[in-house]
């Protein structure tokens, strides 16, 4: 039997070339269609007119009474005979019919108004008057902004949406305005947001060289993209999706019954990553747990995951016992034991890699498999540890945070704004990839990301909506893919099935575990183990949850 050749997987370069060729083909087809329409426009107009004249003739014949149809038919026949006998009669008749067809077949679409209507002009004038105190000066001999002035001199371009609201506006401002000061910019952006409508998000682009400010109303990011397998390489994690103008890459996704290309925010980890660790901040219900669940599902494709849930709400119970999940810890004792093992595992990997490099050998295989440490709300353990006479589990993160990139260890921490002061200096310094979710104040977003966003946020945002910044890069709008807890009763059947299909199979069934693990004495004894085996999962979270804190 002849073997069928396997399908060739396109490389990144070949895929880019293919996309470029498809884009060029579409552009050529669109250009050819426009050219053909321009050339055949007279023929199209005459054909449309002939069709209208024929329809009018049929309606006139149908409306004529039957007793008068005979004389009418005799009159038309006589007229045709007279035209045929006249010199140049047929030619003149054809010209007259073509002229009538061209007149009736002309484009009767009313021309769009060249300028804004009365309501739009009033809106632009009101916005102009509101900008006068900020863009005017008493010493300006020819002020661009003055009370009662003309707004058309201050706006280079303006566009409105279907609802009559401002969609895009290019504002000129005088050169003496301090556009390099963040406070001055913030005042203008706040004013424009209030006057243009607070229910939308706006992007502000300051062109300091040309003294122009471009305000664009952004469409809302899709909040209903379900969790699915993303087309990414090992070491790439999709945090969410952003605007098409912010990134140069798209991912093919299943969006309902269609396949669409959506621009993602891709976080790269590993040895060559400049942002090996991630910090996510938000308010309760903002979607930080959803982000960690999405990251965990993607990490399980190529590595092992250790989860420490400080909230203890069972958000990660669906990952317990899965292949590649080392542990899902919800108690203080289990969290300390697991993080202590993670610190020693990081040291072991560093030593093994160093010895292999000294011997001129490649790193051992067990050091090349990524290890992910996910912590949700470590501030809860920071509060319980002193009361129980134990150390803060965040202290054990210093080694994975400082040396995790070389050891292929990645740390992801999620915390709420009201407990941000409990984060240690190691977590603050070594988490260069930052995410802020939920409705946060601009000062909070800037404090976490290190730079203010160039867009405004609305008061009502869906879960998983926020901003992301990778290292010293730009600030992106972010929408986390919908990855709810499949064991939650509020989760729909479609979302539950989508998440369960992405989870790896269970390594060992929960009902087949030894019953001795359910005893508190055995659980405490197991939690005191300082260095568990790398391929053996720690104590299950269900057993440790029974231990009193």
- Token output for 357: 């490099």
**Is 289 within any annotated ligand binding site?**
yes
Distance CA 397, CA 404 (A): 10
- SS3 for 320? coil
Using left for φ > 0, alpha for ψ between -120 and 50, and beta otherwise, residue 155 falls in beta
Beta bridge partners of 413: 279, 375
Smallest CA-to-CA distance from 478 within 287, 229, 205 is with 287
**Is 472 within any annotated ligand binding site?**
no
Q: Superfamily assignment of 236-502 in CATH?
A: P-loop containing nucleotide triphosphate hydrolases (3.40.50.300)
The distance between the two most distant Cα atoms of the chain, rounded to a whole number of Å, is 119
Instruction: Specify the pLDDT at position 46.
Output: 80
**Is 453 within any annotated ligand binding site?**
no
Instruction: Specify the pLDDT at position 517.
Output: 32
Helix (H), strand (E), coil (C) string for 133-182: HHHCCCCCCCCCCCCCCCHHHCEEEEEECCCCCEEEEEEECCCCCCCCCH
Using left for φ > 0, alpha for ψ between -120 and 50, and beta otherwise, residue 377 falls in left
Is 0.75 surpassed by the pTM of this model?
Answer: no
Domain limits, the chain: 40-61+91-105, 118-217, 236-502
**Is 311 within any annotated ligand binding site?**
no
CB atoms within 10 A of CB 24: 10
**Is 476 within any annotated ligand binding site?**
no
**Is 404 within any annotated ligand binding site?**
no
What CATH number was assigned to the domain covering residues 118-217? 3.30.1240
Smallest CA-to-CA distance from 251 within 272, 265, 268 is with 265
Q: What is the pLDDT along the chain (549 residues), one digit of tens a residue?
A: 444 444 444 444 454 555 556 667 777 777 777 777 667 778 888 888 888 888 888 888 888 888 888 888 888 888 888 888 888 888 888 888 888 888 877 776 765 556 677 888 888 999 999 999 999 988 888 889 998 888 888 999 988 887 888 889 999 999 999 988 988 998 999 899 888 887 888 999 999 999 999 999 998 898 888 999 999 999 999 999 999 888 888 898 887 677 888 999 999 998 889 999 999 999 999 999 999 999 999 999 999 999 999 988 889 999 999 999 999 999 999 999 999 999 999 999 999 999 999 999 999 999 999 999 999 999 999 888 888 888 889 999 999 999 999 999 999 999 999 999 999 999 999 999 999 999 888 889 999 999 988 888 877 888 999 999 999 999 999 999 999 999 999 999 999 999 999 999 987 544 444 333 333 333 334 444 433 333 334 444 333 333 333
Whether the Cβ atoms of residue 410 and residue 371 lie closer than 8 Å to each other: yes
431 contacts: CB under 8 Å, gap ≥ 6: 277, 278, 279, 401, 411, 413
């Amino acid at each position: 039997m002849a073997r069928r050749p396997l399908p060739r997987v396109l490389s990144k370069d070949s895929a880019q070339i293919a996309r470029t060729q498809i884009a060029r083909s579409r552009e050529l087809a669109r250009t050819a269609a426009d050219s053909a329409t321009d050339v055949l426009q007279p023929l199209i107009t005459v054909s449309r007119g002939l069709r209208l004249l024929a329809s009018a003739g049929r309606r006139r014949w149908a409306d004529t009474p039957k007793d008068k149809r005979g004389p009418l038919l005799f009159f038309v026949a006589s007229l045709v005979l007279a035209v045929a006998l006249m010199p140049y009669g047929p030619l003149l008749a054809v010209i007259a019919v073509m002229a009538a067809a061209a007149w009736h077949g002309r484009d009767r679409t009313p021309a769009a108004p060249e300028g804004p209507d009365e309501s739009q002009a009033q809106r632009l004038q009101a916005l102009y008057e509101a900008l006068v105190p900020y863009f005017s000066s008493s010493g300006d001999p020819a002020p661009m902004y003055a009370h009662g002035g003309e707004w058309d001199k201050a706006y280079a371009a303006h566009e409105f949406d279907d609802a009559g609201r401002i969609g895009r506006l290019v504002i000129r401002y005088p050169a003496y305005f301090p556009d390099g000061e963040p406070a001055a910019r913030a005042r203008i952006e706040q004013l424009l947001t209030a006057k243009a409508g607070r229910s939308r998000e706006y992007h502000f682009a300051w062109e300091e060289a040309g003294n122009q400010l471009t305000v664009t109303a952004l469409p809302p990011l899709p909040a209903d993209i379900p969790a699915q397998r993303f087309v990414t390489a090992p070491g790439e994690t999709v945090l969410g999706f952003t605007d098409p103008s912010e990134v140069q890459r798209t991912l093919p996704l299943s969006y309902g019954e269609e396949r669409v290309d959506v621009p993602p925010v891709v976080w790269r980890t590993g040895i060559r990553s400049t942002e090996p660790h991630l910090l996510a901040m938000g308010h309760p219900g903002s979607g930080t747990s959803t982000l960690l669940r999405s990251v965990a599902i993607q990490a399980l494709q190529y590595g092992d995951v250790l989860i420490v849930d400080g909230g203890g709400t069972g958000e990660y119970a669906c990952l317990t016992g899965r292949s590649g999940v080392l542990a899902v810890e919800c108690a203080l004792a289990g969290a300390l034991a697991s993080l202590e093992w993670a610190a020693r595992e990081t040291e072991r990997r560093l030593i093994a890699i160093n010895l292999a490099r000294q011997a001129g050998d490649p790193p051992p295989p067990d050091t090349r498999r990524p290890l992910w440490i996910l912590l949700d709300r470590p501030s809860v353990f920071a509060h319980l540890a002193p009361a129980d006479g134990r150390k803060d589990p965040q202290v054990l993160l210093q080694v994975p945070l400082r040396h995790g990139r070389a050891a292929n260890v990645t740390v992801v921490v999620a915390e709420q704004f009201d407990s941000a002061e409990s984060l240690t200096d190691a977590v603050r310094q070594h988490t260069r990839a930052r995410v802020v979710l939920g409705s946060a104040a601009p000062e909070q977003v800037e404090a976490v990301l290190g730079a203010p966003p160039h867009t405004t946020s609305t008061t009502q945002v869906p879960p998983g909506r926020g901003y992301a910044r990778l290292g010293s890069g730009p600030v992106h709008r972010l929408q986390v893919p919908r990855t709810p807890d499949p064991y939650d009763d509020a989760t729909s059947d479609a979302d539950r099935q989508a998440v369960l299909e992405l989870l790896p199979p269970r390594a060992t069934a929960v009902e087949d575990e030894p019953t001795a693990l359910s005893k508190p004495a055995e659980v405490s004894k197991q939690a005191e183990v300082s260095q568990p085996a790398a391929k053996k999962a720690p104590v299950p979270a269900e057993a440790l949850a029974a231990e009193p804190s």
